[in-house]
Amino acid sequence: MPTRARPIRLPLRAALVALGLLAPLPGLAAPERPAVDRQMPERQAAERAAADRPAVAIGAEISAVPEGTRLTVVLSRPVEARAFVMERPDRAIVDLPEVNFQLPSEAGRKRDGLVASYRYGLFAPGRSRIVIDLAQAATVARVATTTRPRDGATLLTIDLARSDREAFRRAAQPPAPARAEGPPARDPVDSRPLVIVDAGHGGIDPGAIAGNGVYEKDIVFGVAQGLVQRLEATGRIRVQMTRDRDVFVPLAERVRIARDARADLFVSIHADSISAAPQVRGATIYTGSEKATDAESARLADRENKADAAAGADQGEGPGDVATILQELTLRETRGFSARFAQGLLTNLSGVMEMSVKPHREAGFRVLRSPDVPSVLVELGYLSSKRDLDLLLSDEWRTKVTAQMAGAIERFFAGRLPPAGQAMTALNADGLRLSRAAEHAPAPVSP
């Protein structure tokens, strides 16, 4: 007896129809296949890229509120904000993630209510700041973000409330220092010092050019690579280069790389040239200072500081006056550490190479302006001197020099280096990471 075929249940039939394996029943339309948005990956990538870009400030206004004065900033998207007050002079500070301020040039110049004036800009890499000069004592009553219904823009409002002097003084406690947002903080288990090795010039910027056509950028890059290899071989120091190929890197970007990475030392490697004085030779170590040691140092710093312009790049000055004032004390301390490392480096190098008449000098090099990273610039010699050039091109000589540079770096961090093959965490008595200054300080001497 033939077996009767079982009727196909509707869900199964629908599935087969959807797969094209069965015709739909009369009067029933085949189910539509979900549309495939082939542009979805591109849209998602564009959305992610937009989220990574800084928010844009497109407007700002001051208005009166019952308790005082309100500053409203119109932003392209929401941001986190932190506000506090400071005295001497009286001002309110608003810390933000990096913001691209596209405000009218007259913004912030008009006195209105509790606001005498305000200014804004990049405070540090990844961090922007609004500084409100107060017309009288006031406190930050409220900071909030709302969405404007008509266009979806974000309104950041900072409400300032009138205050007496005593209440203002209590509110004006020194804030915790703001650190620029950059790459993730290093793993606390691995507290090996981080050294940034900066090979000068690169790409469209050749630096000094020897009589035989050799470029400074190529010589110093080779030395930088040798130094990196030596430091990495110790296993006790982490190393990063500002450029790992022949590419142009703006001066401010070199400083930013070191600060974003929270580096413990910045070493910039160069070679000089004085075509009018081929007899001048020898290496020089520079540390940063607004006042140059001598006219020659000032001339060299001025020439190096124009490297960006020579390459057709914008010569941004980095953090403005607000950052300079707030970082002055840190900068002074950092330069002390820079000078200490320079002296140790001088001691090591003088045994393997000719040093200049004044081997340690100061000048206002832009790459030495980081307020919280000890920094030195090493001029290895003169391309205009045949003797120096021969040494600079010698593999044997460069091996000796990089060995001594690596030794000076290890000695500088002697109190922090872990035993070979081990990692060490720098902690204080409360189990917190040491401050930047404490990390650079010499190890305590046992009685």
Interval 373-399: pLDDT, tens = 999 999 999 999 999 999 999 999 999
Q: Is residue 189, in this structure, part of any structural domain at all?
A: no
Show Cβ contacts of residue 20 under 8 Å, excluding neighbours closer than 6 positions.
none
Strands 238-241 and 154-162, bridge-based pairing: unpaired
Please determine, for residue 320, whether its predicted confidence score (pLDDT) is greater than 50: no
H or E stretch covering 284? strand 283-288
Q: Is residue 343, in this structure, part of any structural domain at all?
A: yes
Q: Can you spell out the DSSP letters for 382-401? A: ETTSHHHHHHHT-HHHHHHH
d(CA 96, CA 379): 39
Radius of gyration of the chain (CA): 30
Q: Are residues 199 and 118 in the same domain?
A: no
Supply the pLDDT for residue 49. 57
Phi, psi of 342 (to 5 degrees): -60, -40
Supply the pLDDT for residue 89. 82
Show Cβ contacts of residue 444 under 8 Å, excluding neighbours closer than 6 positions.
415
Show Cβ contacts of residue 156 under 8 Å, excluding neighbours closer than 6 positions.
72, 73, 74, 75, 79, 81, 143, 144, 145
Q: Are residues 134 and 210 in the same domain?
A: no
d(CA 308, CA 337): 28
CATH number at residue 221: 3.40.630.40
Q: Are residues 234 and 153 in the same domain?
A: no
Task: Determine contact, residues 37/56, Cβ cutoff 8 Å.
Answer: no
Q: Are residues 93 and 204 in the same domain?
A: no
The tally of domains found in the chain comes to 2
DSSP state of 427: B
d(CA 114, CA 109): 13
Q: Are residues 198 and 313 in the same domain?
A: yes
Q: Are residues 159 and 108 in the same domain?
A: yes
Q: Can you spell out the DSSP letters for 64-112? A: EETTEEEEEEEESS----EEEEETTTTEEEEEEE-EEE---TTTT-S-B
Please determine, for residue 324, whether its predicted confidence score (pLDDT) is greater than 90: no
Tell me the residue range of the domain where 160 lies: 52-171
Dmax over CA atoms of the chain, in Å, equals: 115
Supply the pLDDT for residue 346. 96
Q: Are residues 435 and 339 in the same domain?
A: yes
Please determine, for residue 426, whether its predicted confidence score (pLDDT) is greater than 50: no
Supply the pLDDT for residue 305. 80
Supply the pLDDT for residue 444. 32
Q: Is residue 19, in this structure, part of any structural domain at all?
A: no
Give 18 or 97, the one with higher predicted confidence.
97
- Return the axis-axis angle of helices 216-234 and 395-412, rounded to nearest 10°: 50
Supply the pLDDT for residue 124. 55
Phi, psi of 271 (to 5 degrees): -145, 135
CATH number at residue 152: 2.60.40.3500
Q: Are residues 327 and 411 in the same domain?
A: yes
Q: Are residues 305 and 390 in the same domain?
A: yes
Interval 99-144: pLDDT, tens = 998 888 788 888 999 999 998 886 655 788 898 999 999 999 999 9
Please determine, for residue 333, whether its predicted confidence score (pLDDT) is greater than 90: no
Q: Are residues 198 and 167 in the same domain?
A: no
Three-state SS at 136:
coil
74-to-78, 101, 157 alpha-carbon distances in Å: 10, 10, 9
The domain boundary, picked from 156, 171, 186, lies at 171
Q: Is residue 2, in this structure, part of any structural domain at all?
A: no
> Which residues does residue 194 pair with via DSSP β-bridges, in sequence order?
238
Interval 258-288: pLDDT, tens = 999 999 999 999 998 887 778 889 999 999 9
The domain boundary, picked from 139, 171, 203, lies at 171
Q: Is residue 9, in this structure, part of any structural domain at all?
A: no
Mean pLDDT rounded to a whole number for the chain: 79
Interval 208-264: pLDDT, tens = 989 888 999 999 999 999 999 999 999 999 999 999 988 888 999 999 999 999 999
CA 66 to mean position of chain CA atoms: 41
Confidence of residue 70 (pLDDT cuts 50, 70, 90): very high
Q: Is residue 272, in this structure, part of any structural domain at all?
A: yes
The domain boundary, picked from 171, 202, 226, lies at 171
Q: Are residues 70 and 142 in the same domain?
A: yes
Q: Are residues 119 and 236 in the same domain?
A: no
Q: Is residue 41, in this structure, part of any structural domain at all?
A: no
Q: Is residue 254, in this structure, part of any structural domain at all?
A: yes
